[in-house]
Amino acid sequence: MPALPARPHFLDGRPWPAGSSCGGLVFDPARGEPIARVPFAGRAEVDAAVGSAAAAQAPWGEAPLGRRAEIMFAFRQHVLGHSDELAALVTTEQGKTLADARGEIARGIEVLEYACGMPKLLQGAHSSQLATGVDAHSLLQPLGVVAAITPFNFPVMVPLWTLAGAIACGNAVVLKPSEKTPGAALRLAALATAAGVPPGVLNVIHGDHTTAGLLLAHPGIDAVSFVGSTPAARQVHERATAAGKRVQALGGAKNHMVVLPDADLNMAADAAVSAGFGAAGERCMAISVLVAVGAVADRLVEAVAQRIRTIRIGAGSDPDVDMGPLISAAHRERVLGYVGRAAAQGARLVSDGRMRIPAQGFFVGPTLIDHVTPAMDLYRDEIFGPVLSVVRVPSFDAALELVNSHACGNGAALFTRDGGAARRFEREVQAGMVGINVPIPVPAAQFSFGGWKSSLYGDLHIYGPDGIRFLTRTKVVTTRWPAAAPGRLDLGFPTQR
């Protein structure tokens, strides 16, 4: 095998060749072959990255808001101008189609655009004459150094969810992208530097959970913004809060799409297939459970099965392909294991993706499984693959109870023409992001993104207004400028009267 190129870390505004000997391989999942080596940062490299970020943060946090905004505008232009290159990198390392990769970059740019408005967003509040001669105002100050630990499935968009706001708020970031898709983070860091983000304000180190653990315990890290699977999110939250850090840890998902008998069947079937099999189901907002209410079930399953037959599988770089591979051979085996067990437990395989696996690469064909029950592990666990389960329920009440009984609460969707049912769904469903006739309700950048229950550990959602609260410390200043000293002592507790 020819020598593989190594992905460097990125420190102080430039690539930083690895010193550590341990590391992993990056694969092209469409070919199933390694394309690069990735180093795993050890303690010395983590110390260097955090130290450099801390040194850079102090002057950056003092930089005028207008200057920071100007640099964020330039960063946005650089990412936009390099969208095709970034998309190609995402497709090569992650496997999704180029069109899908462009979509994630566009959604990441939206978050950058929101961060360009930071002079307005960081505006505090002011109250005049709270008591006689007393005013108060609030300041939103940077936190310091933020660690961003991100998953493999959105190599551009998810890092931007944290770093756009973090940098614009005056923080420095140490980004540890997924060791499976490290390339895009390096390009983002280089583009940020070219846009004027000072060296050290965005450092990138590679590694697995061990490197992440060093960040979680590091005294120089003030906050941790994590996105990944639920077990890792739970652990990150426990460890980083125990180390005294502010933490938001977004976890996995099991998104249900409820279809009522009055729904537009074609619209619902199109949505279920797009949201179930887009990115080969490797989206935290993918639909993985189709809840068919009452008499709609047979017609819905047939309409979905018909559409699945038209999905073209292959390398994401081929413009004629709809669905690419999974991220790794191990993940493919895991997904196939769930499909096999569900069939053995009595679920009905309507479309068997095992029959449509190309010879090369980490593919699983689109799979539709009917008559799934909540007792099956296929239903309980996040599969994160092109597998859509159908659960049949008799009524809207039963559908709501099913969705709300699941441990995850990231997204949930309802398809109906009934406004009353939709209103009840949005009020009663236990999920952080809800779609009404919208299957993937990823919030726009002026809202924030986050789930409920085991889909989020921590209090605040990511990006948008919650992101700013997470990434800043609030200070309230109460002021008095007396013309003359009041001339008396008062040991009572101050009131506003």
The Cα angle at residue 177 between residues 142 and 274, in degrees rounded to 5: 105
d(CA 46, CA 220): 10
Does residue 208 touch ligand NAD according to CB under 6 A?
yes
Q: In this structure, are residues 437 and 415 in contact, taking their beta carbons and an 8 Å threshold?
A: yes
d(CA 43, CA 437): 48
Does residue 351 touch ligand NAD according to CB under 6 A?
no
Q: Which residue is nearest to ligand NAD (CB)?
A: 228
Active site residue 284: yes
Does residue 97 touch ligand NAD according to CB under 6 A?
no
Q: How far is CA 200 from CA 173, 191, 493, in A?
A: 8, 14, 46
Does residue 95 touch ligand NAD according to CB under 6 A?
no
**Residue 148 backbone dihedrals phi, psi, to 5 degrees:** -115, 120
Does residue 384 touch ligand NAD according to CB under 6 A?
yes
Site string for ligand NAD, 130-149 (x = CB under 6 A): -------------------x
Residue 254 or 371: the one with the smaller Cβ distance to ligand NAD is 254
Q: In the bound complex, what is the minimum distance in angstroms from residue 311's beta carbon to ligand NAD?
A: 21
Does residue 408 touch ligand NAD according to CB under 6 A?
no
The Cα angle at residue 244 between residues 453 and 45, in degrees rounded to 5: 105
- Select the span of 27-35, 247-255, 315-323, 415-423 touching ligand NAD (CB under 6 A): 247-255
Residue 396 or 463: the one with the smaller Cβ distance to ligand NAD is 463
Does residue 448 touch ligand NAD according to CB under 6 A?
no
Does residue 451 touch ligand NAD according to CB under 6 A?
yes
Kindly state the greatest CA–CA separation across the chain: 89
Contact with ligand NAD (CB under 6 A): which of 236, 291, 311, 315? Answer: 236
The interaxial angle of helices 157-168 and 464-471, nearest 10 deg, is 50
406 three-state secondary structure: coil
Q: In the bound complex, what is the minimum distance in angstroms from residue 162's beta carbon to ligand NAD?
A: 11
Does residue 382 touch ligand NAD according to CB under 6 A?
yes
Does residue 232 touch ligand NAD according to CB under 6 A?
yes
Does residue 157 touch ligand NAD according to CB under 6 A?
no
Does residue 179 touch ligand NAD according to CB under 6 A?
yes
Q: Which helix (H) or strand (E) holds 137?
A: strand 134-142
Does residue 212 touch ligand NAD according to CB under 6 A?
yes
Residue closest to 99 by CA, chosen among 317, 358, 362, 364: 317
Question: Which positions from 275 through 314 interact with ligand NAD, judged by CB under 6 A?
Answer: 284
Does residue 235 touch ligand NAD according to CB under 6 A?
yes
Q: In the bound complex, what is the minimum distance in angstroms from residue 326's beta carbon to ligand NAD?
A: 11
Q: In this structure, are residues 425 and 221 in contact, taking their beta carbons and an 8 Å threshold?
A: no
**Sign, Cα dihedral of 388, 389, 392, 398:** negative
Residue 40 or 396: the one with the smaller Cβ distance to ligand NAD is 40
d(CA 470, CA 143): 9
- Select the span of 2-10, 46-54, 77-85, 232-240 touching ligand NAD (CB under 6 A): 232-240
Q: In this structure, are strands 287-293 and 255-259 parallel, antiparallel, or unpaired? A: parallel
**Which residue out of 116, 169, 284, 408 is catalytically annotated?**
284
| Tokens representing residue 383 in the block | 């599969």
| Tokens representing residue 200 in the block | 């050290």
d(CA 189, CA 251): 25
Catalytic (active-site) positions: 284
List contacts with ligand NAD (CB under 6 A).
149-154, 158, 176, 178-179, 208-209, 212-213, 227-229, 232, 235-236, 250-253, 284, 382, 384, 410, 451, 455
